[in-house]
């Protein structure tokens, strides 16, 4: 990486030599691989990726789907795949 470049996201995989990062949770199929040797500093964010108040506008079934999505490592449940195009390449 360029010196001083900042990358934020969710580390979905870590190997001995690389971090695999999703920078945009709306497009979980786009993963950035970063060599650990290129990383000057790494730390966990204290800010949630979920927009503030989002749970207040979701229905109970939508919240259950969201939790399921997060627990399965960003794999959409079958009944939701037809509504989204970003998971296709």
Domains in the chain: boundaries: 1-48, 50-89
Q: pTM of this prediction?
A: 0.57
- Residue 28 has a pLDDT of 83
Residue-level pLDDT at 2: 61
Q: In what order do the strands lie in the sheet containing 18-22? A: 10-14, 18-22, 32-35
CA distance 64 to 41: 35
pLDDT in tens, 27-76: 888 999 999 999 998 888 888 777 788 888 989 998 888 888 778 766 66
Distance CA 20, CA 26 (A): 16
pLDDT in tens, 12-30: 899 999 999 998 877 888 9
Q: Are 13 and 20 in contact (CB under 8 A)?
A: yes
């Amino acid at each position: 990486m360029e010196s001083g470049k900042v990358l934020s996201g969710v580390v979905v995989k870590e190997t001995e030599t690389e971090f695999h990062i999703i920078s945009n949770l709306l497009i979980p199929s786009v993963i950035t691989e970063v060599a650990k040797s290129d990383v000057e500093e790494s730390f966990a964010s204290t800010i949630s990726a979920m927009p503030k108040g989002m749970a207040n506008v979701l229905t109970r079934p939508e919240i259950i789907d969201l939790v399921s999505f997060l627990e399965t490592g960003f794999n959409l449940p079958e009944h939701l795949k037809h509504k989204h195009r970003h998971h296709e390449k």
